[in-house]
Amino acid sequence: MSEASSPSSSSKPAWSARLAERYHLDLPPDLVDWFDSEVWRELGGGEYAIGVDPQVLLGPAPDPIWPALMPPDLLPVVGNGRGDWLCLRVDTEGRVSRIVQWYHGGGDWIPWGRTLAEAIYFDALFERLPGPHRRHALPPEPTPGDARNRDAPFLRWAASHVPPSVRDLPWQDACPPSVADALLDAGACEEAVRCELVQASLVEPLSAVLDPVATQGIHAEWNRVVEWMFDLRRMPAATRQAWGDLFEIDLDGDAQTWGPVREHCGRVIETAPELAWAWELYGYCCHRNGQRLPAIEAYREGALRSVFTDQSIRMRTHWTGHLAAKFSVAMLRDLSPEAVEGSEYLRILAMEDTPERRDTATRYWTAQSRRCLESGDAAAAHAAAVSAGWDLGAGSLTAYGTLLDAVRDSASAAGFASLAELATTHRGCLQSRYAI
């Protein structure tokens, strides 16, 4: 048997210990058990059913890492066989801060749980939550097997690592709101659940009868239609009446409930302030209620978050893409033009949608990182180095060699050993795969 296919033995340290040493990680108990019990060898049962062999992760250039497209603080551990991954997100202390779902179709990511066990439960419970279940920009292919089968290996393993109050939830006959409430009460999968509840609050009748092709005959500007789907209040009264009659749907009622949106986004801002979608929608809730100053503050914060955390297709905020690089900036320019004009960075985000916009943003963050290093603030230099490559994304794949070098060097200077090693590994993948 090859080393990659043979189980760990007493002659070698446990998988978890070897991975912890390789990446300078402080692994939580569920991940220690995940690797050392070797449950990853089995086929999981849900969409994310393929565990990564830890021997692969111990190598210099692990194949599951998508260098450049995948942020350099992520380490993939479970895949769906179609290029999407559940990844460890590592913080500056070498701890796993969240398990995030990373989508290869655009590089977007979102936390699915504090632990891998929670993320596996979310995979099993996703379709039982309220909402339209828009997981990706494109619908996922059918899930192989039954994610809620009691004998599904990953779910069976995860059951011993989730809060007792939700342990039997996959097999209970509970209505969607009850499933969401149970997870939130247990503090499990919080950001992912609230993301679904936000979408559930904003469901409207237009999206059920319209698509980009069919709509061309009645309205050539699909972005405008998406704007109306985002908030029916933005739809002209005459169009609302005409389309209501045409499609035999009620567009006069208050189908969308924005109060819960503000509540959920406010909570996510507290638990995961790095997520753009929460700031953007919180700001919009304030904006539409005439609360100018809180809206401006939220939009400013949203503008500083990576576009890869905005969930713009699922939240239907992508209709502003031709106006600015980020929804927050498009809204802020409408609400407070002077706030955008007074900031070098926001002016970049408000540039015309061309490759030059991304290149200019990368140069901005690279210069910021260099200045922070020169002033002795290595932690800020590292944050800026990451933004150089993963705020809007660099315009060219070849740029990521230099960008990952900067992330590695600034992490080392700041004493972030885990992040430096992850950046080194992502850099090795870039060299191995693309000779960059």
Q: What is the pLDDT of residue 9?
A: 47
Q: What is the pLDDT of residue 10?
A: 54
Q: What is the pLDDT of residue 355?
A: 84
Alpha helix positions (H), 162-288: 176-185, 190-201, 206-209, 212-215, 222-230, 237-247, 258-271, 276-288
Q: What is the pLDDT of residue 2?
A: 38
Q: What is the pLDDT of residue 222?
A: 87
Of 374, 325, 320, 373, nearest to 350 by C-alpha is: 325
Tokens representing residue 328 in the block: 């927050």
Q: What is the pLDDT of residue 12?
A: 78
Low-confidence ranges of the chain (pLDDT < 50): 1-9, 137, 140, 144
CA dihedral 181, 185, 191, 192 (to 10 degrees): -40
- 3-state SS, 200-231, equals HHCCCCHHHHCCHHHHCCCCCCHHHHHHHHHC
Tokens representing residue 242 in the block: 């005409």
- Strand boundaries in 17-166, DSSP class E: 50-51, 74-79, 85-90, 96-102, 109-113
CA dihedral 337, 273, 400, 64 (to 10 degrees): -140
Strands of 85-90's sheet in order across? 50-51, 74-79, 85-90, 96-102, 109-113
Q: What are the φ/ψ torsions at residue 97 (nearest 5 degrees)?
A: -80, -35
- Run of H or E residues at 124: helix 116-125
- The span from the CA of 61 to the CA of 430, in Å, is 8
Q: What is the pLDDT of residue 134?
A: 75
